[in-house]
């Protein structure tokens, strides 16, 4: 067996899944889809609260205009699906090993434009394409990603709680000494703090010291942290299914070289991006605001990633703050703002907060100090 879930691995809070299913079906109809097919993923968890395992056995929620939602599940997963409450939201259609679930799926779909979960496995999509050869298939992002990107107050509250736990964890880690510890030790300590500070689970704790900080997603290893190092810490987990994600860069004693100068530039870029963010502003404009500061200081080549990503049930989701994203941000959007400068072989600096948009503008969910902090 496997318990690897498509969702966040924790029970749903009391979200209104019936309303979400209705809105998704309506949006599917407006977009002209004959059906929306949702496989195990945060999409399925968002719509039904069922944290279905991601398996080679097909599980698929089918939304069609004017019809009740249907959830095709492997027979041996049916008790778990029912226990999640999905049986009161959908018609459960179990299939047994040896049957062909693609045929079951085909039999309830009509040919036309069909939207599928972005994370559906290619093998399942290819089978569906063969079974419905006159249909066209498109990613369901226009239906589901947009819906999920506009968080309701209960969702923002969970993201706020997660951000608060991340802030507290940063406070606890900076009260400890860094000098002489290994990156891996600091990472494990951070994971414990996240759990002490209300997280249901820990997703990642990246600790990159000295030259390792120049790899944005460095996996902690046996490097011993030394005086003069800049240490980039990027960590997060989940509270009620919703993610935290914060980055801070600290100096161990007085920093070497231009760490202080680079930190000030990244801080200014982060403030500039935050200042630019608001309802109606295209995602790329926020990216440009951060990039302008870093390019102006001569470090444009060293800012090697986008400025931010949406966050919710997934660590990365829409909206993305990246050149080419012309879509205006909307109230309810929640995303990271995380410019960085990476100098290969030397050090890196990144500062990341989660931000939510209200009708009136941007509000930070993280409040840990952004100024350069000197630790022991």
Site for a copy of itself, rule CB under 8 A: 1-4, 53, 55-56, 74-77, 79-80, 83, 96-98, 116-126, 137-139, 141, 203-204, 206, 214-219, 234, 245, 247, 304-306, 315-317, 322-324
Sequence-distant (6+) residues with CB within 8 A of 172 are 193, 196, 197
Shortest gap between Cβ of 121 and a copy of itself (angstroms)?
5
Which of 3, 14 has the CB closer to a copy of itself? 3
Shortest gap between Cβ of 141 and a copy of itself (angstroms)?
7
Shortest gap between Cβ of 25 and a copy of itself (angstroms)?
20
Helix (H, G, I), strand (E, B) or coil at 314: coil
Strand partners, 63: 36
Shortest gap between Cβ of 375 and a copy of itself (angstroms)?
21
Shortest gap between Cβ of 216 and a copy of itself (angstroms)?
4
Shortest gap between Cβ of 150 and a copy of itself (angstroms)?
19
Which single residue is written with the structure tokens 């991340």? 166
Which of 118, 331 has the CB closer to a copy of itself? 118
Interatomic CA distance for residues 281 and 159, integer angstroms? 22
Which of 208, 278 has the CB closer to a copy of itself? 208
Sequence-distant (6+) residues with CB within 8 A of 75 are 94, 95, 96, 97
CB atoms within 10 A of CB 264: 15
Query: What backbone torsions phi and psi does residue 218 show, to the nearest 5 degrees?
Result: -60, 135
CA of residue 218 relative to chain centroid, distance: 18
Which of 142, 179 has the CB closer to a copy of itself? 142
Which of 229, 318 has the CB closer to a copy of itself? 318
What is the DSSP pairing of strand 91-95 with strand 373-375? unpaired
Cα dihedral 260/265/269/270 (nearest 10): 0
Cβ burial of 63 (10 Å; 0-12, 13-18, 19+) is buried
Which of 112, 180 has the CB closer to a copy of itself? 112
């Amino acid at each position: 067996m496997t318990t690897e879930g498509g969702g966040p691995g924790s029970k749903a809070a009391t979200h209104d899944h019936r309303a979400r299913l209705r809105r998704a079906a309506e949006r599917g109809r407006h977009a002209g889809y004959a059906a929306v097919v949702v496989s195990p993923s945060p999409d399925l968890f968002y719509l039904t609260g069922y944290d279905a395992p991601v398996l080679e056995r097909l599980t698929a929620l089918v939304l069609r205009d004017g019809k009740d939602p249907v959830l095709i599940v492997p027979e041996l997963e049916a008790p778990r699906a029912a226990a999640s409450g999905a049986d009161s939201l959908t018609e459960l259609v179990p299939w047994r090993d040896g049957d062909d679930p693609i045929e079951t799926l085909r039999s309830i779909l009509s040919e036309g434009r069909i939207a599928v979960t972005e994370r559906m496995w290619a093998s399942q999509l290819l089978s569906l394409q063969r079974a419905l050869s006159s249909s066209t298939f498109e990613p369901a992002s226009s239906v589901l990603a947009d819906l999920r990107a506009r968080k309701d107050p209960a969702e923002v509250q969970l993201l706020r709680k997660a951000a608060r736990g991340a802030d507290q964890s940063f406070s606890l880690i900076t009260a400890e000494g860094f000098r002489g510890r290994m990156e891996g030790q600091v990472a494990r300590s951070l994971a414990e703090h996240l759990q002490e500070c209300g997280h249901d689970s820990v997703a990642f704790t990246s600790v990159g010291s000295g030259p390792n900080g120049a790899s944005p997603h460095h996996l902690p290893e046996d490097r011993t942290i030394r005086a003069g190092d800049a240490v980039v810490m990027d960590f997060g987990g989940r509270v009620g299914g919703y993610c935290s994600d914060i980055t801070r860069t600290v100096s161990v004693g007085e920093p070497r070289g231009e760490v202080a100068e680079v930190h000030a530039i990244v801080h200014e870029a982060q403030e500039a991006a935050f200042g630019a963010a608001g309802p109606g502003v295209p995602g790329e404009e926020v990216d440009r605001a951060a990039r302008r500061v870093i390019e102006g200081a001569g470090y444009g080549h060293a800012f090697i990633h986008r400025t931010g990503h949406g966050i919710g049930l997934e660590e990365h989701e829409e909206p993305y703050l990246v050149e080419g994203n012309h879509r205006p941000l909307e109230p309810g959007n929640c995303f990271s703002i995380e410019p960085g400068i990476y100098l290969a072989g030397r050090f890196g600096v990144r500062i990341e907060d989660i931000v939510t948009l209200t009708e009136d503008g941007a509000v930070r969910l993280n409040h840990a100090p952004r100024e350069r902090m000197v630790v022991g």
